[in-house]
Structure 1
Amino acid sequence: MPAVLARRGRFGRWWRMKVIGSVDHDAVLRQVAEEAGWSWRYGFMIVVSMALSLLGLLMPSVAVLIGAMLVSPLMMPIIGLGFGIAVLDVADIRKSLFALAVGAGLAVGLSALLVALSPIQTITSEIAGRTRPTLFDLLVAFFSALAGAYALIRGRGNTVVGVAIAIALMPPLCVVGFGIATANATVAGGALLLFLTNLVTIALTAAFMARLYGFGRHLTPRNTTFQVVLFAGAMLALSVPLVAALRQIAFEAVAQRQVRSAILSRFPDDARISQLEIDYRSSGVRVRAVMLTPRFDGGADRALGAQLAQRLGRRVDLHVDQIRSSLDPQATEAAQIAKAGSGIASARDRIVGQVALVTGATPDSLAVDDEARIVRATAAELPGLPAVGYRAVEARARAAAPGWTVEVVPPASDAPPPVIGFTAGIADVRAIDDAAWLSARQGRVLAVLGGVAAQREALAGAIVARGGQARVGDAAGGLRLGWVSDGQP
């Protein structure tokens, strides 16, 4: 024990003499005082950075967001706040907080105005990714502060350390403005929490680095005990969002382990989780999973939902897509790769929702074949629209579900088949296509009636060639189509 204390003492003396002694504390504090406050240049760069960040969020474009990071001026006020905390200089703290408050207010206000005037108000992936703090966001803020404080202390203030800090601050400010403009309290509140959490993390980390390099209260004897107490209270208040974020992050880490463990324990040992998505909401947890399993478990959703709700103490909305897999490990791996490549779960839900929206059907009524990527829907009745008119509805549904085959079944109707017109003795090809489509979708057989035998056979063959069902009927009257009922036309 004495040897350990001796080594610590030697290291402490070396640190004070060689490391702290090599720092020009007065020069660093002067630089902080000059650059951490408000200026018109600072305001101009806030506006430019805000505009670029907003464009990058709406497009969305990572390249544009990187451009916003390069010009963001938020580095020095945050570092100044951290150094003010380290030396307990209330004047510097006040000046840095003023610059941050005005800059943040300017960014939020202008971004809200631009979004309100913009025709693009869609929540993109970049916006959604900044609506709540995660462990990775905290790590970004932490390492950003380490880089910024070290560069300033060691005389490398011109290093572009504002890039990483801008990742943690400017885009969330723009998302706050987006949420205000679109009256979306969830988006605005989540982004504001992310901003405050990262701000406090950066400031406290910078303060730690400053104290580590010898910056302390002895360098600014102007403060009073009242100011120190007031400052401590303010820092405790600012730490509230950080504590809340850490609690949420801890819950999410526990929840993810619990969800994975519960799902795996429900299925056989050789089953695998191909994909797992967890959405943590304020009122509950939404779980979507894809399971490769040798046998199906019909009661898995209900049992797992109840089990996880009891474990997590929150309402759980759970659904597991079960895919039968071979016991052969190579076949299982191939199925997992194929399923992952198709972008299932959330992509499947989106496709089903789009088809239901276009056809007017409920999502639960759709028949979905995941392996063949086929969706079949019975369209809601549109008054006045003939049966073949639903072919256009099918075309719109297919456009809304790229990569999938969509089949739309017209609502039940006793309407007669399309009339086949003739021009110079040549049948209307579009009418034949419509008749074949209607026969295929309704699963009914067409009877080709009238005319001469050669015409009836040719028309029936054309319908069958297009995927419909047709048979040759009697020869009475002109050439026409009818429905076969109970085996007879």
Structure 2
Amino acid sequence: MQSEPVSAETAGRKRASPGFAHVLTTFQRWWHTDVTGTVDQIAVIEKRRAECATSARYLLMTCMSAGIAILGLLQGSAAVVIGAMLLSPLMDPIMGVGFALAIGDFQWLRQSARSLAIGVVVAIAFTALVVFISPLQTITAEIASRTRPSLLDLGVAVFSSIAGAYAMIRGREGTIVGVAIATALMPPLAVVGFGVATLNATVFWGSLFLFITNLTAIALTATIMARAYGFSTSLSDKHTKMQNFLIFAAFTLLAIPLFLSLRQIVWESQATRQANNVVIAVYDQPVTISELDMNYDMRPIRLTATVLTPQYVENAEARAEVAMSRELGRPVEVSLTQVRVGTTAQAQQEAQLGEARRLEAESRAQARDIAEDLAMLAGVTVDDVTVDRERRRAIVIARPLEGATMTAYRELEQRINAGRPAWDIRFTPPIRPLPDIPFERETGEDADDDGWVATDDGRDALALAAWAQQRVGVPVRLVGPRESVAHLRAILAADGDAMQASITGEGYGDVAVEWTTQ
């Protein structure tokens, strides 16, 4: 009986398989002997366990780190924020959580989680106190950048956790590793405190989501690193089936916010790539996109881009809007700046450099002019004006001007914004009395069931109060009859705003507006 012939490809696979198996076996032997075999696991665990306890030093360093971080965020200084990380002790309990999950030690996990929770609460409370007593309560660029997770934030969390776990396993932990982990945790935690102090729900939930996401990434990465280095359940005397279930539940609960964050991040990344392709497809000739920005917080989503093109294309924005809205299934507003350049690659490069230099010079000049105008109107020096050229934002805290009302400060902001439509310029006025909101009987469409409605002056006063509350960062209270207050709060809810209320009786009537600091 003849055997079937063996093809050359099959013979090659049979010869290659033993080679791959040998390489894999050699790698596993090297890893278990020269890597994990050289780690004193018991010593590492005991040291990590001892440093997870809550102590006076731990609480003091947490407060000092959080305090410096929030002051740096309020000043918009990245250097001060990074400097605050030198003091942060958050690495020890979070690494304790990761190692406890890896070996299934429920008691250690509970101790580490308790220390971490206490540190988080103390940091939030301390930063909220600092913000509450601080005259600076405006949202700076540093604060705004930490109100939602991004791929860069997750990358910092994962890489710092890998570095931290490796350093602890190998006994080479130090300040630098702690700084890396604290950078991913302390700034968003400080912003959570800012949100609490200013009663800003958007800032609070956004930064809390970022903190939970980074915390999840660090803890899970530390667990995976510990498992890779041979830390197993055999080191725990209390590892039971119930603890196995609890560890699995902990992994699942920790993965939920990370999954939600990653899903949104992936969608936004894909949407940005689609936007780049859509803008290029609008033009029939090769073009270069020098700047592209997607603002997903606006409704509709706003796409702005600068396109270097050999020839202008009419209706480019309208065509891009239709294509983007179809791709994303959401309304998109497109703003394209078309810069005409030569057809050769060299001409395009030169034009791109020239345009970049021109835009940079114009941006600097605009920022300087805006800072000088704001300083003059607010009665402060140019150095007291915060200008973010990248995001086209300017913020100034105005000095009290004799005789100036809250309406006057709002008009100053509106006047300078009208002259700079591409910029977001904000006045932070001093606390001034706010006008009352009168009511009257009316039978029009805007009237309430009982025929009562806020007058035109009253609606303007309500809008002024909402503006003042946002700018100053101090809550405003509506004081008046129940139905009138409910009517005004319904108007605010429609615009996404909110105010506290104090009821003085039933029915309708004029409503007073007070600062809660009074």
TM above 0.5, one fold? yes
Counterpart position of 2:137:
121
1:298 shift after superposition: 4.0
Task: Kindly report which structure 2 residues correspond to 1:66-465, keeping only aligned pairs within 5 A, or say none.
Answer: 66-281=82-297, 284-327=300-343, 328-329=347-348, 332-342=351-361, 397=416
2:63 to 16, 40, 47: 47
Q: In 2, distance between residues paired with 1:16 and 1:323?
A: 60
Q: In 2, distance between residues paired with 1:334 and 1:202?
A: 41
Query: Using a 3 Å threshold, how does the CA distance of structure 1 residues 282 and 17 change in structure 2: closer, same or farther?
Result: farther
Q: In 2, distance between residues paired with 1:230 and 1:152?
A: 25
Counterpart position of 1:64:
80
Identical aligned residues as a percent: 44
- 1:274 and 1:339 in contact (8 A); partners too: no
Q: In 2, distance between residues paired with 1:6 and 1:343?
A: 64
Q: Which amino acid aligns with 2:322?
A: A
Q: In 2, distance between residues paired with 1:136 and 1:106?
A: 27
- 1:279 and 1:285 in contact (8 A); partners too: yes
Counterpart position of 2:441:
none
Q: Secondary structure at the match of 2:338?
A: strand
1:181 shift after superposition: 2.1
- 1:279 and 1:287 in contact (8 A); partners too: yes
Query: Using a 3 Å threshold, how does the CA distance of structure 1 residues 314 and 36 change in structure 2: closer, same or farther?
Result: farther
1:103 shift after superposition: 0.8
- 2:290 and 2:352 in contact (8 A); partners too: no
Deviations 1:9-58 (A, max 9, x none): 23222222222221111111111110023211111110000001001111
Counterpart position of 1:440:
none
Counterpart position of 2:36:
20
Deviations 1:340-370 (A, max 9, x none): 42466xx89x97xx99xx9xxxxxxxxxxxx
Deviations 1:410-461 (A, max 9, x none): xxxxxxxxxxxxxxxxxxxxxxxxxxxxxxxxxxxxxxxxxxxxxxxxxxxx
The number of equivalent residue pairs is 362
Counterpart position of 2:50:
34
1:304 shift after superposition: 1.3
Q: In 2, distance between residues paired with 1:171 and 1:148?
A: 18
Q: In 1, distance between residues paired with 2:194 and 2:19?
A: 60
Deviations 1:160-188 (A, max 9, x none): 31111111000000111112222222222
Deviations 1:347-401 (A, max 9, x none): 89x97xx99xx9xxxxxxxxxxxxxxxxxxxxxxxxxxxxxxxxxx9xx859986
Q: Secondary structure at the match of 2:176?
A: coil
The alignment's C-alpha RMSD in Å is: 3.0
TM-score, normalized by length of structure 2?
Answer: 0.65
1:305 shift after superposition: 1.5
Tell which structure's C-alpha radius of gyration is larger: 1
Query: Using a 3 Å threshold, how does the CA distance of structure 1 residues 294 and 45 change in structure 2: closer, same or farther?
Result: same
Unaligned 5+ segments in structure 1 are: 359-392, 405-489
1:65 shift after superposition: 1.3
Query: Using a 3 Å threshold, how does the CA distance of structure 1 residues 3 and 291 change in structure 2: closer, same or farther?
Result: closer
Q: In 2, distance between residues paired with 1:180 and 1:262?
A: 41
